[in-house]
């Protein structure tokens, strides 16, 4: 059972359709978010040691894939009734989950170029379509002005990139820093223009990203490797959500995602 009524879920769906994003305040327990933060810290360290040279998100900024294992393989998160209600209201009852990762700016990070996370489906058409790819984001720390808030320009997801950038340039649209608290959850259409900002604090500012898509959308750059022993414990609904991901015998069976091109 979710926290929100069907009509409230419908309200969040409309927010995303109109603004490109919505926030469910205080949705996940802070203790849970704290457990994720503690489990994430060594993964970030290891990632920086092994992959840190790539710097493909900009200086001091890292994209780290999360293993589909405790505490991250948490049905209370990826199968949350309210989040799924909004996701399904936007990209269909048969939506799929294809990405579980994090974006983390550290001290020394910079402003990213304003970007979308996906190109238009039909660039030659000159118009945008209904939503097809969503990011469900939640920070693992409280986000402040200092530690690199995610900035987004409201209602730019149905514009061409050029028109959205023009409106930001002219002041008709504004990049808003989202000062989310640990536990808040954002659901966004990835076409909304946004950017990462510099983290000027000592602590990392990890933001989790779960990627949900229309059934027919193939994103070769991402996947969730589901260990067989975890798969066997999942609900029917979870297996359906994860149906396009590989089920692997061992969690470290290689083949980790390599998500390099991310800005459109």
Note whether 262 binds ligand AKG by CB under 6 A. Answer: yes
Q: Taking a C-beta distance cutoff of 8 angstroms, is the pair 174, 209 a contact?
A: no
Site string for ligand AKG, 56-95 (x = CB under 6 A): -x--------------------------------------
Note whether 198 binds ligand AKG by CB under 6 A. Answer: no
Count other Cβ atoms within 10 Å, centred on residue 238.
18
Locus of tokens 């489906």: 121
CA distance 230 to 224: 12
Coil/strand/helix, residue 103? strand
Question: Which of 255, 221, 224 shows the shortest CA–CA distance to 67?
Answer: 224
CB of 167 to ligand AKG, least distance (A): 19
Phi and psi torsions of 71, nearest 5°:
-85, 0
Which residue's CB is nearer to ligand AKG, number 77 or number 242?
77
CB of 238 to ligand AKG, least distance (A): 26
Query: Per the structure block, which two tokens stand in for 74?
Result: 């948490």
Which residue's CB is nearer to ligand AKG, number 85 or number 211?
211
Note whether 207 binds ligand AKG by CB under 6 A. Answer: yes
Note whether 204 binds ligand AKG by CB under 6 A. Answer: no
- 22: β partners: 187
Among 80, 103, 189, 257, binds ligand AKG (CB under 6 A): 103
Among 47, 194, 214, 225, binds ligand AKG (CB under 6 A): 194
* HSE of 255, CA atoms in CB hemisphere, 13 A: 15
Coil/strand/helix, residue 171? coil
Question: Which of 129, 115, 64, 75 shows the shortest CA–CA distance to 97?
Answer: 75
Among 20, 131, 164, 196, binds ligand AKG (CB under 6 A): 196
- 210: β partners: 100, 136
Site residues for ligand AKG, 137-166, by CB under 6 A, read 148, 150
Q: Taking a C-beta distance cutoff of 8 angstroms, is the pair 9, 15 a contact?
A: no
Q: Taking a C-beta distance cutoff of 8 angstroms, is the pair 219, 99 a contact?
A: yes
Residue with the shortest CB distance to ligand AKG: 196
CB of 8 to ligand AKG, least distance (A): 27
Please give the radius of gyration of the chain, using alpha carbons only, rounded to the nearest integer: 18
Which residue's CB is nearer to ligand AKG, number 112 or number 230?
112
Among 20, 60, 85, 105, binds ligand AKG (CB under 6 A): 105
Which residue's CB is nearer to ligand AKG, number 58 or number 227?
58
Site for ligand AKG, rule CB under 6 A: 57, 103, 105, 112, 117, 148, 150, 194, 196, 207, 262
């Amino acid at each position: 059972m979710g926290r929100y009524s069907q009509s409230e879920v419908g309200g969040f769906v409309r927010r995303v359709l109109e603004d490109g994003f919505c926030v469910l305040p205080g949705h996940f327990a802070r203790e849970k978010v704290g457990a994720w933060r503690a489990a994430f810290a060594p993964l970030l360290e290891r990632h920086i040691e092994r992959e840190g040279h790539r710097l493909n998100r900009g200086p001091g900024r890292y994209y780290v894939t999360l293993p589909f294992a405790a505490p991250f393989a948490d049905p209370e998160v990826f199968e949350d009734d309210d989040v799924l209600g909004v996701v399904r209201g936007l990209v269909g009852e048969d939506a799929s989950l294809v990405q579980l990762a994090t974006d983390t700016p550290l001290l020394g990070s910079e402003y990213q170029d304003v970007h979308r996370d996906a190109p238009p489906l039909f660039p030659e058409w000159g118009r945008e379509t209904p939503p097809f790819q969503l990011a469900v984001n939640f920070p693992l720390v409280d986000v402040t002005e200092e530690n690199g808030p995610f900035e987004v320009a409201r209602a730019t997801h149905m514009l061409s990139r050029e028109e959205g950038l023009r409106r930001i340039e002219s002041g008709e649209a504004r990049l808003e820093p989202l000062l989310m608290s640990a536990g808040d959850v954002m659901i966004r259409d990835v076409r909304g223009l946004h950017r990462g900002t510099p983290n000027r604090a000592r602590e990392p500012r990890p933001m989790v990203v779960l990627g949900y898509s229309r059934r027919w959308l193939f994103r070769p750059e991402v996947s969730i490797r589901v260990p067989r022993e975890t798969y066997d414990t999942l609900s029917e609904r979870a297996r359906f959500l994860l149906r396009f991901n590989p089920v692997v015998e061992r969690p470290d069976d290689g083949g980790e995602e390599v998500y390099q091109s991310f800005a459109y």
